[in-house]
Chain A
Amino acid sequence: MITASIIAPILRVMTPILLCALGGVYSERSGTGNITYEGSMLVGTFTGVVGSYFTGSALVGVLCAVAGGVLVNLFYGMLRIKMGGDNVVCGFAVNSFSIGVTTYLLRTIFHTNGTLSDSRIQGLYKLRIPVLKDIPIIKYFVTNQTLLVYFALLMVFVTAIILKRTKFGFAIRACGENPMAAATVGVNVNRTRWICLVITGMLCGLGGAQMALGNLTQFSEDMVGGRGFIALAAVILSKATPLGVLCTALLFGFAEAYANLLQLTSISSYLILMIPYAAVILILVLQPERLKELKRRIGMRRKLPQV
C-alpha cells in the first residue's frame, strides 16, 4: 500500500544514497575505479557526529563530515593514483579500514560500544516550507526535510550541467573513457582524477551527515550498513549519469521506506531489512542491456534469413 507513511520517508532515506551516488558519478566518469563510497560515508557519519558533539553546532558537524569523506578519498587516491594499486583491492582495504577506525575511535574517545547517542549531538535543522506543506500528496514529500535533501536534488542538475557543458566535465569524461584523448588535448589526467575524488569525498561526507545528523542524531558502528554499496550499484546501473542515479536512488529509497513500514508487521524484520538489497540484485539482473542480450541469444536460433 502506498500511503503517506511510505511516501514521506522516501526522500529522507533516499538522500544519503543519492548524495553518495552523485559523488560516485565524478569518480566513475573520470576513471578512478573508486568503490570506497561505503567507507567515505561511514567516516562522514562519524566525523559529523563528533564535530556536532564537541561544538554543539550542526553546521560544524556537516563540515566535519565533509572533511571525513574527503580524507577517506585522499587515502584511496594515495593508494590508487600515487602508488598504482589495484582499484578493487585498494577500495576494499579502505572500506574495511573505515569500519575499523570508526569503531576503534568510538570506543577510545567515547568509551561506548555500539551506539553513541547524546543530547550534545546537534541534529540538522528541518525545513517547513509554508505553502507546500498545505498541498496534498506533495506535503508528504517536503515536510520536515533537511536542507541537504534539497541540495541533493539540486546537485543532480548541477552535475548534469558540469558533465555536459563545461570544460571540466569534458575533461572528466575524456579521462574516464580514453585518457590518451584527454592527455593529447592538454588535460592533466591525474589532477582531474584527484579533483573528482575530492568531490566524491565531499558528497559522500554529506550523505553521511544526512544519515547521522538528519535522519537520526546518533552514530552507531557500521551504521551505513551497505548504503554506500547500494550507491555504487546505482552508479553502475545508471552508467554514472546524474538523472539515472536519481531514478535508481529513488527506487532504492522506495524499497527501504517500504521495508521500514513492513517492519511494523509480523514478518521477520531480518527478511524485511533485506528488501533494499534484494532490490539491488533484482535490478542488476534485469538491466535492459542484459534483457537485450537474452533476446539476442534466443534470436540466434531463429531461421536464417534469405539474402
Chain B
Amino acid sequence: MTKLAVDMQQITVRFGKVIANNEVDFQAEWGEVHGLVGENGAGKTTLMRVLYGMYTHHEGTMLINGEKVAFSSPKDAISKGIGMVHQHFSLVPSMTVAENVVIGRPPYKKGLIDLKKSEQIVAQLSAEYGLEIDPKMRVSDLTVGLQQRVEILKALYLGAEILIMDEPTAVLTPQEIKQLMETLRSLKEKGKCIILITHKLAEVRMVTDRITVMRAGVVTARVNTADTDEKKIAMMMVGREVILEVDKQPFHPGETVLSLKNISCFDRMGLPAVRDVSFDVHRGEVVGIAGVQGNGQSELADAVAGLLPLSHGEVFLNGKLMSGGNVPLLCRENGMGHIHDDRIHVGSAADLSIRDNFLAAMYRSDAVKKGPFLDYSKANEIVEENVKKYKVKIGKITDEISSLSGGNMQKLIIAREMYMQPRLLIASQPTRGVDIGATEFIYQQIIHHRDQGNAVLLISNELSEILALSDRILVIYKGSIIGELDRAQATEDKIGLLMAGIRPET
C-alpha cells in the first residue's frame, strides 16, 4: 500500500473558548488535487495552518508520508516538503522574482549571494513546471496572477512536495484562474500532493480529484469529485439546500431612473477607463454589466456614483443632472445606494464601529437626530433591528466593523444601503469573497429590491451572477459597451465572446 502524503488524525484547535477544529481527520494522497471546501469560518485555513506549522497548540497527530511529525514552526514544515501559498502573498515588492524565490535559501558565490545563479535556478524551475516568468522582473511590476506564480515557484524551490493553496483564485481574473488550474494539474502529474482550499464550487469541480468538506470546525463529508455535483457539495457546505436561482416577478420596466449620456472618465492612474458609455436603467429592472475584470467596470460604477470625475458626458438620476460640488452627496439625496466593490477601503471605515458604519449613509436624516445632535438610542435601535433583519452575525454593534468576516461585513453594507430604500441601487461585485450561504441571501435581497419597483445596476465579474439576476445584460470591453442582450437571448457563450471583445457577425 502506498503511503498517504498527509494524514492528520483527531486534530483539535482552540482559540480561547472557540473551537476552530474539532477532532478533524484529514487525508490526502500523492498525485492528487484535494479540495478542502467549506464556508468562510468553517476551519479550513486553521487546519492547514496546523499542517504548515503556523499553529502549534493543537491536539492530535500528523503523519507526513507515513512518518509522524510535530512542527514547532513553518521551518519544520518546509523541511518536510510542505509549502503553502497564502491568500495574502508574502513577497517583497522591491525585489526581483529571482530574489524572492531564493530568499529562504540563496545560492552563494565567494560569500555573497549569487544573483546570476538565482536567475538561472528560477528560469530552470519555471521551465520545468511550465510557470513562465521573467526572473529579472521586479515583483511590484507583476500582476496578481504572476505574483502568485512567484509564490508557487518559491515553495517549489524550497522543495515542496505537498503544496497548500489557500483560496488562490479569490484575487485572479478568469483567464488567470484557468492558467492556475492548468498549473495545478501539471504539478499533480509530477506526483505532488496539492491541497486546494476554496469555497468556489466551479473550481472544485474543474480541478479536484477528491474533496473534504468542512462545516463549523468538523468534517461533514469526504467524496470523490466524480461522484458528486455542485448542488450536493453546496448542500454539504451549508447544511441545507442552496438555491442560487432566484424567483423573480415578471419583467415590467417602468420609467427611467438612471440615464448615462456619453460618459467617459480616466482611472486613478490617469489612463482612459470608461469611453463614451450611454444607457438607461428603469424601475423594476436589473441591468447587469458583464466583463472581464479591469475593463473599466469599477470606474464606471465610481463615475456614476460621483466618486470619479467625468471627463465627458452627463449622468441623470430621476431626470436630474448630477453635477456640482459634492456629486456623491447629490446622488445619495436623489435616491442612490451604492454597494462598492472595495468594501474594505471604500464601503466601510475599518476603525469605526458596526453602528457608525451603518449610520454613515443616514446620519444626515432627521430619523436619527435630536436637534443638532445624533440620537444614539434611536440609532442603536435602528441598527440592532437591521442587523437582525439581514442576519448579520455580530458581537455588539459597538465592535469595530473589521471584526466581521467578509460575508457579514457585506451583509451589513447591504443592510445599510437598503435601509434608505434607494430608487437606484448600484451593486458592484456584491458577492466577491462572500461565501455561498451569504451569496444566496444577497441575491434574494437584490431581486426583492427590484420587485419593489426599484432600479438596480449590477456589475459583476461572475457570469453566473449576471445571468441569475439581470433582466438586461450589457457587456463592457476596454471601457466601451460592446453589446447588449436581453436575458432571454443571453447565453454564457454569447456573453463570453463579447467579454473577449469579439462582436457577433450580424
Chain A residues at the B interface, C-beta cutoff of 8 Å? 161, 164-167, 170, 173-174, 177-178, 180-181, 183-186, 296-297, 299-300, 304-305, 307
Which B residues between 238 and 266 are near A, CB-CB below 8 angstroms? 264, 266
A177 to B104, CA, bound (A): 16
Inter-chain contact B104/A186, CB cutoff 8 Å: yes
26 contacts between A and B (CB under 8 A): A165-B115, A167-B106, A170-B92, A173-B95, A174-B92, A174-B95, A174-B103, A177-B92, A177-B94, A178-B91, A178-B92, A180-B88, A180-B90, A181-B89, A181-B100, A181-B103, A183-B90, A184-B86, A185-B103, A185-B104, A186-B74, A186-B78, A304-B272, A304-B312, A305-B272, A307-B480
Which B residues between 400 and 449 are near A, CB-CB below 8 angstroms? none
Name the residue on B nearest A306 (C-beta).
B275
Inter-chain contact A300/B90, CB cutoff 8 Å: no
Which B residues between 66 and 114 are near A, CB-CB below 8 angstroms? 73-75, 78, 86, 88-95, 99-100, 103-104, 106, 112-113
Contact of B113 among A167, A181, A299, A300 (CB under 8 A): A167
Inter-chain contact A307/B113, CB cutoff 8 Å: no
Min Cβ gap A171→B in Å is 8
Inter-chain contact A300/B275, CB cutoff 8 Å: no
Q: Using Cβ atoms and an 8 Å threshold, which residues of chain A touch B75?
A: 186
Min Cβ gap B18→A in Å is 23
Inter-chain contact B270/A300, CB cutoff 8 Å: yes
Min Cβ gap B69→A in Å is 17
A108 to B211, CA, bound (A): 75
Inter-chain contact A296/B99, CB cutoff 8 Å: no
**A166, A170, A183, A299: which has the most chain B beta carbons within 10 Å?**
A170
Which B residues between 98 and 136 are near A, CB-CB below 8 angstroms? 99-100, 103-104, 106, 112-113, 115
With A166-B112, A180-B86, A185-B104 known, 5 other A-B pairs at CB within 8 A are A173-B95, A174-B95, A183-B74, A186-B74, A186-B75
Contact of B99 among A161, A170, A304 (CB under 8 A): A170
Q: A186-B104, A296-B270 are in contact. Are A307 and B88 (CB under 8 A)?
A: no
Q: A167-B106, A186-B75 are in contact. Are A178 and B275 (CB under 8 A)?
A: no
Inter-chain contact A304/B73, CB cutoff 8 Å: no
Q: Using Cβ atoms and an 8 Å threshold, which residues of chain A touch B452?
A: none
Contact of B93 among A177, A184, A296 (CB under 8 A): A177
Contact of B112 among A161, A173, A181, A184 (CB under 8 A): A161
Q: Using Cβ atoms and an 8 Å threshold, which residues of chain B touch A173?
A: 92, 94-95
Which B residues between 293 and 332 are near A, CB-CB below 8 angstroms? 311-312
Min Cβ gap B297→A in Å is 16
Q: Using Cβ atoms and an 8 Å threshold, which residues of chain A touch B73?
A: 186
Cross-chain pair count, CB within 8 angstroms: 67
Name the residue on A nearest B112 (C-beta).
A165
Min Cβ gap A76→B in Å is 24
Name the residue on A nearest B114 (C-beta).
A165
Contact of A181 among B90, B115, B269, B270 (CB under 8 A): B90
Inter-chain contact B264/A178, CB cutoff 8 Å: no
Min Cβ gap A144→B in Å is 35
Q: Is B188 interfacial (CB 8 A cutoff)?
A: no
Q: Using Cβ atoms and an 8 Å threshold, which residues of chain B touch A164?
A: 113, 115
Contact of A170 among B78, B86, B89, B113 (CB under 8 A): B113
Inter-chain contact B113/A165, CB cutoff 8 Å: yes
Q: Is B478 interfacial (CB 8 A cutoff)?
A: yes
A80 to B478, CA, bound (A): 48
A305 to B312, CA, bound (A): 12
Q: Using Cβ atoms and an 8 Å threshold, which residues of chain B touch A184?
A: 74, 86, 90
Min Cβ gap B473→A in Å is 21
Inter-chain contact A304/B90, CB cutoff 8 Å: no
Q: Using Cβ atoms and an 8 Å threshold, which residues of chain A touch B106?
A: 167, 170
Q: Using Cβ atoms and an 8 Å threshold, which residues of chain A touch B74?
A: 183-184, 186
Name the residue on B nearest A175 (C-beta).
B92
A177 to B140, CA, bound (A): 11
Inter-chain contact B103/A170, CB cutoff 8 Å: yes
**B73, B112, B272: which has the most chain A beta carbons within 10 Å?**
B112
Min Cβ gap B64→A in Å is 19
Min Cβ gap A166→B in Å is 6
Give a binary string over B459-487; 1 marks a CB under 8 Å from any A CB, 0 the rest: 00000000000000000001110000000
Inter-chain contact A304/B275, CB cutoff 8 Å: yes
A183 to B103, CA, bound (A): 11
Q: Using Cβ atoms and an 8 Å threshold, which residues of chain A touch B113?
A: 164-167, 170
Min Cβ gap A172→B in Å is 10
Q: Using Cβ atoms and an 8 Å threshold, which residues of chain B touch A185?
A: 103-104
Q: A185-B103, A186-B104, A307-B478 are in contact. Are A300 and B92 (CB under 8 A)?
A: no
Q: Using Cβ atoms and an 8 Å threshold, which residues of chain A touch B92?
A: 170, 173-174, 177-178, 181
Q: Using Cβ atoms and an 8 Å threshold, which residues of chain B touch A165?
A: 112-113, 115
Min Cβ gap A158→B in Å is 12
A307 to B273, CA, bound (A): 11
Name the residue on B nearest A298 (C-beta).
B270
Inter-chain contact B311/A304, CB cutoff 8 Å: yes
A304 to B296, CA, bound (A): 15
Name the residue on A nearest B94 (C-beta).
A177
Q: A166-B113, A180-B88 are in contact. Are A304 and B264 (CB under 8 A)?
A: yes
**A164, A184, A304, A307: which has the most chain B beta carbons within 10 Å?**
A184
Q: Using Cβ atoms and an 8 Å threshold, which residues of chain B touch A183?
A: 74, 90
A178 to B92, CA, bound (A): 6
Min Cβ gap B166→A in Å is 12
Min Cβ gap A285→B in Å is 21
A299 to B270, CA, bound (A): 7
A152 to B104, CA, bound (A): 31
Q: Using Cβ atoms and an 8 Å threshold, which residues of chain A touch B270?
A: 296-297, 299-300
Q: Using Cβ atoms and an 8 Å threshold, which residues of chain B touch A166?
A: 112-113
Which B residues between 357 and 378 are near A, CB-CB below 8 angstroms? none
For the complex of A and B, list the 4 residue pairs with the smallest distance between their C-beta atoms, beginning with the closest: A185-B104, A181-B90, A165-B112, A180-B90
Give a binary string over B145-175; 1 marks a CB under 8 Å from any A CB, 0 the rest: 0000000000000000000000000000000
Min Cβ gap A163→B in Å is 10
Min Cβ gap B73→A in Å is 7
Q: Using Cβ atoms and an 8 Å threshold, which residues of chain A touch B272?
A: 304-305
Name the residue on A nearest B83 (C-beta).
A184
Min Cβ gap B171→A in Å is 16
Min Cβ gap B292→A in Å is 16
Q: Using Cβ atoms and an 8 Å threshold, which residues of chain A touch B115?
A: 164-165
Inter-chain contact A178/B112, CB cutoff 8 Å: no
Min Cβ gap B370→A in Å is 36
Name the residue on A nearest B93 (C-beta).
A177
Inter-chain contact A307/B311, CB cutoff 8 Å: no
Min Cβ gap A304→B in Å is 5
Q: Using Cβ atoms and an 8 Å threshold, which residues of chain A touch B93?
A: 177-178
Name the residue on B nearest A299 (C-beta).
B270
